[in-house]
Amino acid sequence: MSSGDAAAQVRPGSVQAEIRQSVPFRTPAEEAGVTLMRTSSVLSRAMARVVEPEGISVAQYNVLRILRGAGKNGMPTLSIRERMIEEGASITRLLDKLEEAGYVRRERCRPDRRQVIGYLTDEGRALLERLDPMVGEAGEAAMGVLSAAEVTTLVSLLDRIRCGLRGDD
Amino acid sequence: MSSGDAAAQVRPGSVQAEIRQSVPFRTPAEEAGVTLMRTSSVLSRAMARVVEPEGISVAQYNVLRILRGAGKNGMPTLSIRERMIEEGASITRLLDKLEEAGYVRRERCRPDRRQVIGYLTDEGRALLERLDPMVGEAGEAAMGVLSAAEVTTLVSLLDRIRCGLRGDD
DNA sequence: AGACTATACTTGACATGCGAACTATCTCCA
DNA sequence: TGGAGATAGTTCGCATGTCAAGTATAGTCT
């Protein structure tokens, strides 16, 4: 509307083309935001297709990975939450499901009885090891179109965006 | 596990630092994927904080924007869905809420009575105009830490990732 | 015309993200 | 000691993503 000509050039492969949006984005920042969220959504679904055959969601997979990273000392519930991709309060239910499925064990902590420590079970570890190669492949498939230097650049740009959002928060 | 040394250097500001993960990512692709999804999540929550005071969700805001882009001809339900960031089938319910709130109007199409065309109402347009400046600010705040050239680079990298994922799908 | 298939939603069931309220502990400090 | 406040989880209500099944309408073939 403001720029006059509606049918301006549309970069092929761009979100604007993908979304068939007739009105271009108002600002580059806006385009970047939408592109970022859409790309994340597509990637997330690709990951889901990999892990769901094993009966877990991407969020659950994430929790299992975090617990594997924690090692045999386990990790308290809220620490797990901090490390998740999504920051939700749904961590309790997620752990409920994982415990029910036998991939996770939970125990009240001794010195501080408020805490509940989660541990990865052997089944959980086995599941992760079964998924590792496929998840790795999916990641490589997604990022494979970029060179190593470009992946580094991407990560660095995203890190800076998050830092900015945090400080602003 | 495979790489041996756990306490390698942790880039400050990186997802690895933010997530306090003791075990570094296995591959750069993996780090990029997690970083991408986490950044998107943070950005999405930032957007939510902007639009929720007006009583709508980010997804609803997105639909309203799409309908504004469609102009007075409106847009059929499934076309709206294609243009959303998330590709879900929840579009009907989203439109239900928006219609209930008076921001959207729906009509059966004349030539093809299967289609339901959605239109932005004046209230919807007014809501968007009320939100535009704040959303714009939030976007600028998020991307403001990057130079114009960096924003362009980011968008181009993300576009390529999505293209790769699509072809692979 | 009548049947078969495709299209455009719509609905239902379930998982999950999110904020807010609630419970159980723990800590601190008078 | 005992009460206020912080901390760790849990639970609730609601919105939404996802898949699968259902409904109405179009188009197509015979």
Contacts of A165 in chain B (CB under 8 A): 42-43, 46, 141-142
A48/A12: higher pLDDT: A48
Task: Compare all CA atoms of chain A with the CA of B37 and give the residue at the minimum distance.
Answer: A40
The reply to whether the CB atom of residue A155 sits less than 7 A from any atom in nucleic acid chain D is no
**CB neighbourhood size of B57 (10 A):** 14
Q: In chain A, what percentage of residues exceed pLDDT 90?
A: 51
> Looking at residue A109, what is its pLDDT?
85
pLDDT band at A10 (very low <50, low <70, confident <90, very high): low
What digits encode the pLDDT tens for the residues B29-76?
A: 988 999 999 999 989 988 998 998 898 999 999 999 999 999 889 999
Interface mutation target, options A30, A159, A168, A169, chain B, most CBs of B under 10 Å: A159
Q: Phi and psi (nearest 5°) for A4?
A: 90, -90
In 3D space, the residue among A101, A19, A131, A28 whose CA is nearest the CA of residue B154 turns out to be A28
Identify which of B22, B28, B154 has the shortest CB distance to residue A69. Answer: B22
CA angle B65, B87, A50 (to 5 degrees): 150
Are residues B161 and A152, on separate chains, in Cβ contact within 8 Å?
A: no
Q: Which residues contact B48 (CB under 8 A, 6 or more apart)?
A: B57, B58
In 3D space, the residue among B146, B93, B101 whose CA is nearest the CA of residue B126 turns out to be B101
pLDDT of A160 > 70? The answer is yes
CA of B114 to C1' of D29 (A): 22
pLDDT of A6 > 50? The answer is no
A9/B35: higher pLDDT: B35
Report the DSSP beta bridge partners of residue B106.
B118
What's the pTM? 0.84
What the block records as the tokens of B82 is 């294609």
The reply to whether the CB atom of residue B77 sits less than 7 A from any atom in nucleic acid chain D is no
Q: How far is A104 from chain B (nearest CA, A)?
A: 19
Are residues A161 and B141, on separate chains, in Cβ contact within 8 Å?
A: no
What digits encode the pLDDT tens for the residues B99-155?
A: 999 999 999 988 899 999 999 999 999 999 999 999 988 888 899 999 999 999 999
pLDDT of A107 > 50? The answer is yes
What digits encode the pLDDT tens for the residues B21-30?
A: 555 578 899 8
pLDDT of B167 > 70? The answer is no
pLDDT of A3 > 50? The answer is no
A14/A37: higher pLDDT: A37
> Looking at residue A32, what is its pLDDT?
93
pLDDT of A118 > 80? The answer is yes
Are residues B13 and A162, on separate chains, in Cβ contact within 8 Å?
A: yes
Distance CA A45, CA B41 (A): 14
Contacts of B23 in chain A (CB under 8 A): 68-69
What digits encode the pLDDT tens for the residues A76-98?
A: 998 999 888 887 778 999 999 99
> Looking at residue A23, what is its pLDDT?
57
> Looking at residue A15, what is its pLDDT?
66
Q: Which residues contact A18 (CB under 8 A, 6 or more apart)?
A: A38, B162
